[in-house]
A and B are shown apart, each in its own frame.
Chain A
């Protein structure tokens, strides 16, 4: 840990999280290096969202460590946590746009509330950011409820990148979208991450997404990372769990209990 050059942007060690008797994360170890895009894959309900929420400080893990730039963040005060979050941008699964605000104020939210920019300047920046995700200025005044799912994802992405964060997080950015729109969103994400030189932590179960946005892939299964490697090697991982997942087979070591009445 004395070599700052190789210090990962995010270092997760032995992370544990349970809900009541239900163990969701049981010792997750994962590093995300500077300017690296890591995608966590895994079946529904394996705890991918929980892992991301622990990193974002929305959930409190009961054991383990999360370091960002070498600094422990699992036990921060509210104020310190807010400072740390200033280097994050997050796109939620359902976009989570503020429906009481017009699109441009959503995009400019961080600029207005954190950087305390004037409204005119913030609006200008919002319109520029919207253009980067392929949306015209006419969208700026609409309310989020007037947008399609794909457009909401784009606005959510614009909100995540508006303050040019160092770390981007994506929770299933393509679920609920048609394959073409999904591909556009994947392109936009890959492009934004590269352009910002950001580190990215994404979770998905969409293999097309993985191949487009990942430098490295980690598979979460039964509360642990069971495989972790460059995206190029995912097809010859030699891991039966990964093979089953990427080919989407019902038969294999991953058993789902399906009850047919």
Chain B
């Protein structure tokens, strides 16, 4: 085949996918805002995303904070800047690693299970059954997940920030020989509201992305168990790529004057 034609087809497919996803997102927001709301469904998703992700996000955060302290200490020793360890840890956690790592972990845990659950509902005609019961799947299935993702990921990231900084603190005190008051003072010395806020904004966007991709891939899954499996993989991969892309864009918006 003509390689240019293949490239063109790939590009058209990509545009079609972007269009489908935009329509899905638009429909979700329009139908979701219009109500009726399903508070029980929203609450259930908030618990599932927020509470049950705490262990995995917490573990990721504490080890990341610890390794950050260790790495920056050995690295910065080369030009005698070890004293910057606390600042490096807190800025990296709040601005970058907290939201990105939490987003990726939640994409793997929650995005995958959303795609699997909604995909199974699609192939077993449960979504058709919803519409015959006068219930809009966008309002009943998609909106509660998207809202829960949007609200809960910032909370998770706030927890991850604290745990990550605490991990760095542990290594700083017990391994690198900082004094506790000194380490804490340096942690807060250069920290600004904007650092934390930008991280939380990222988290909200990532939560939206994860839930949206999980629902979208599940909603359009086809062809039985195999289709659901494929949807699960696609949900995680596409959400991860979109998180990393959005991360750059938001960083640019916040910090490049």
Nearest chain B residue, comparing its CB with the CB of A114: B134
**Cβ A100 vs Cβ B117 within 8 A:** yes
Q: Judge whether A78 is part of the interface by a CB distance below 8 angstroms.
A: yes
CB-CB under 8 A for A93 and B134, given A78-B31, A113-B140? no
Task: Give the contact stretch, choosing among A31-39, A53-61, A234-242.
Answer: A53-61
Determine whether B179 belongs to the interface, using a CB cutoff of 8 Å to chain A.
no
Which chain B residue shows the least CB distance to A78?
A: B136
Q: Given contacts A78-B31, A100-B117, are A114 and B126 in contact (CB under 8 A)?
A: no
| Interface assignment of A110: CB less than 8 Å from any CB of chain B | yes
Q: How far is the CB of A168 from chain B (nearest CB, A)?
A: 11
Q: How far is the CA of A98 from the CA of B124 in the complex (A)?
A: 9
Chain B 97-149 residues near chain A, CB threshold 8 A: 117, 120-121, 124-126, 128-136, 140
Binds B, one of A14-22, A68-76, A82-90, A212-220: A82-90
User: For chain B, which range describes its interface: under 10, 10 to 19, 20 to 34, or 35 or more residues?
Assistant: 10 to 19
Interchain CB contact under 8 A, B132 and A90: yes
Contacts of B124 in A (CB 8 A): 94, 96
Q: Judge whether A113 and B135 touch: CB under 8 Å.
A: yes
A58/B128 contact (C-beta < 8 A), A78-B31, A100-B117, A113-B140 known: yes
| Cβ A98 vs Cβ B134 within 8 A | no
Contact across chains for B135 and A92 when beta carbons are under 8 A apart: no
Partner of B133, one of A53, A85, A99, A100: A85
With a cutoff of 8 Å between Cβ atoms, the chain A residues found around residue B125 in the complex are 92-94, 96
Q: Which residues from A are CB-within-8-Å of B130?
A: 98
Q: Which residues of A contact B121 (CB under 8 A)?
A: 98
Closest residue on chain A to residue B117 by CB atoms: A100
Contact B128 A110 (CB under 8 A): no
A203 to chain B, nearest CB (A): 14
Contact A110/B129 with A78-B31, A94-B124, A100-B117 known, Cβ cut-off 8 Å: no
Question: In the bound complex, what is the Cα–Cα distance between A99 and B133 (angstroms)?
Answer: 16
Q: Which residues of A contact B131 (CB under 8 A)?
A: 56-58, 82, 85
Chain B residues lying within 8 Å of A90, measured Cβ to Cβ, are: 129, 132
B128 touches A82 (CB 8 A): no
A202 CB, nearest partner CB in chain B, Å: 15
Contact B117 A82 (CB under 8 A): no
Query: How many angstroms between the C-alpha atoms of A37 and B133 in the bound complex?
Result: 21
Measured between alpha carbons, how far is A179 from B5 in the docked complex, in Å?
Answer: 56
Q: Does A109 contact B (CB under 8 A)?
A: yes
Binary interface encoding of chain A residues 109-123 relative to chain B, with 1 for a CB under 8 A from any of its CBs, else 0: 110011000000000
How many angstroms from the CA of A114 to the CA of B36 in the assembled complex? 10
Contacts of A98 in B (CB 8 A): 121, 126, 129-130
Which A5-58 residues sit within 8 Å CB-CB of chain B? 53, 56-58
Flag if B126 contacts A82 (CB, 8 Å). Answer: no
A85 CA / B121 CA spacing, docked (Å): 20
Bound complex: CA A82 to CA B133 (Å): 8
Would you give 24 A-B contacts (Cβ < 8 Å), ordered by A?
A56-B132, A58-B131, A78-B136, A82-B131, A82-B134, A82-B135, A85-B131, A85-B132, A89-B132, A90-B129, A92-B128, A92-B129, A96-B124, A96-B126, A96-B128, A97-B129, A98-B126, A98-B130, A99-B120, A100-B117, A109-B135, A110-B133, A113-B140, A114-B135
- Additional A-B contacts beyond A85-B132, A98-B121, A113-B134 (6; CB < 8 A): A82-B131, A82-B134, A82-B135, A92-B125, A109-B133, A110-B134
